[in-house]
Amino acid sequence: MEGRDDEGGSLLDPALLRRVLDQLESSDIDELEVADGTSRLFIRREPGAQAASDARRPAEPTPDGVPITAPLTGVFFSRPAPDQPAYVQNGSQVHVDDVVALIETMKLFNEVKSEVAGTVIQVLANDEDLVETGQPLMQVTPFPDDE
């Protein structure tokens, strides 16, 4: 397979990989192999991989609030850098699309965004924990509808 896409970028470029992974997520392809010069990427969808797209839907409320879940499997980070404060902590107020954490997968840091506006009542994951797709990372009590 040729190692460049039609726009001249490397097939292993992070932006192109993200597009490929997004396409795979909405397809029924189980395996994909991509080669670029001396690099090779092999992706195999495991049983239950459909949970990845399901995890992007807002989670259902529980008696303890609304969970913000991991959109993908990787390593959880509560802050943008080791010397920076955490994005959120217990008691923090969040709004829809606020970045609340990062998940590192294959040396790429992916933002975890809130899908609900409210107050964080409990952060469930610790820095450098391995988290799985759909795993609750924190619980949020939604703001009343009039806020």
Q: What is the pLDDT of residues 4-49, one digit of tens each?
A: 444 455 656 677 677 777 777 766 777 777 776 776 777 777 655 4
Q: What is the pLDDT of residues 34-89, one digit of tens each?
A: 776 776 777 777 655 444 444 444 455 566 789 999 999 999 999 999 999 999 99
SS (H, E, C) 81-145: CCCCCCCCCCCCEECCCCEEEEEEECCEEEEEECCCCEEEEEECCCCCCEECCCCEEEEEEECCC
Q: Is the Cβ–Cβ distance between 33 and 20 less than 8 Å?
A: no
Query: What are the sequence ranges of the domains in the chain?
Result: 1-45, 61-142
How is domain 61-142 classified at the CATH fold level? OB fold (Dihydrolipoamide Acetyltransferase, E2P) (2.40.50)
